[in-house]
A = this chain, B = another copy of it.
Amino acid sequence: MPGVDAIQAVNRGSQTRRRLLRAGLELFGQRDYDNVTTRQLADLAGANLAAIPYHFGTKQALYQAVAEDIVASIQPSTRAALLTAGRCADTPDAGAHRLLQALREVILAFSHEVVGVADARLRAGYILREQLRPSASFDVLYEGFMRELHSVMTRLHARLLGCPDEDPAMAFRCQCLIGQVLGFRVGREVLLRRLNRDTLDPRQIAEFVADTNVAALQREIGHA
């Protein structure tokens, strides 16, 4: 049986670990890997420099642990929206209205993750950097989230437009849709300058993207 001292030591250790992960998200979300020093990570976490090799082995391993943490902290509501939409796309007699509704929910959830939730800026920063220069963390992010998002959206589009799931045009449409959301994150500075503002309302962005795309699809289906 472990003594009280040992248990306290374990708790202290796991808290240091958590604070290092938090500092990792904060710093790697804002700056490139090589622009973040182990000293900054340790300082921000209120930990000692040697705590990084101790808890993670290397700086690189801490960086990857942050990716796993990002995947693990995706909102349950987003997971639920993807699950519902996936089922909906698999239901043969689902009508256009229900498919569009599901797509709308997925876009809103994804937008919320990218521009809405508390750490959205940091997490999106980390993910975008991984996209520009994939490392081992990219697989974690892809398998943990992106693959399913892409797959569900593609199948919804295929059903709505009466195309096979494998039609490349469906993947292209889906890529455009994701790009629209990411554009508000990547091109944020440009948009702020254009609008002469210094903030953007995340909900407004999410609803704008969802509404314009759903409306466009509605017109496209009606027209066909």
- Interface assignment of A208: CB less than 8 Å from any CB of chain B: yes
- Contact size class for A? 35 or more
How many copies of this chain sit in the oligomeric assembly? 2
Q: Which of A48-56, A79-87, A185-193 contacts B (4 or more CB under 8 A)?
A: A185-193
Q: A34-B32, A34-B35, A35-B32 are in contact. Are A179 and B173 (CB under 8 A)?
A: no
Closest 10 pairs (CB-CB, A-B): A179-B183, A32-B32, A176-B180, A219-B219, A179-B180, A179-B179, A216-B216, A34-B34, A175-B191, A34-B35
Majority SS at the chain A contact face: helix
Q: Which residues of A contact B (CB under 8 A)?
A: 30-35, 125, 128-129, 131-134, 138, 142, 146-147, 150-151, 154, 168-169, 171-173, 175-176, 178-184, 186-191, 193-195, 205, 208-209, 212, 215-216, 219-220, 223
B128 and A186 contact, CB distance less than 8 A:
yes
Which residues of B sit under 8 angstroms from A212, Cβ to Cβ?
Answer: 173, 176
Docked CA distance A178–B195 (Å): 16
Out of B180, B187, B216, which one reaches A220, CB within 8 Å? B216
Docked CA distance A190–B171 (Å): 10
A138 and B178 contact, CB distance less than 8 A:
no
Q: A183-B176, A194-B154 are in contact. Are A169 and B132 (CB under 8 A)?
A: no
Which residues of B sit under 8 angstroms from A169, Cβ to Cβ?
Answer: 208
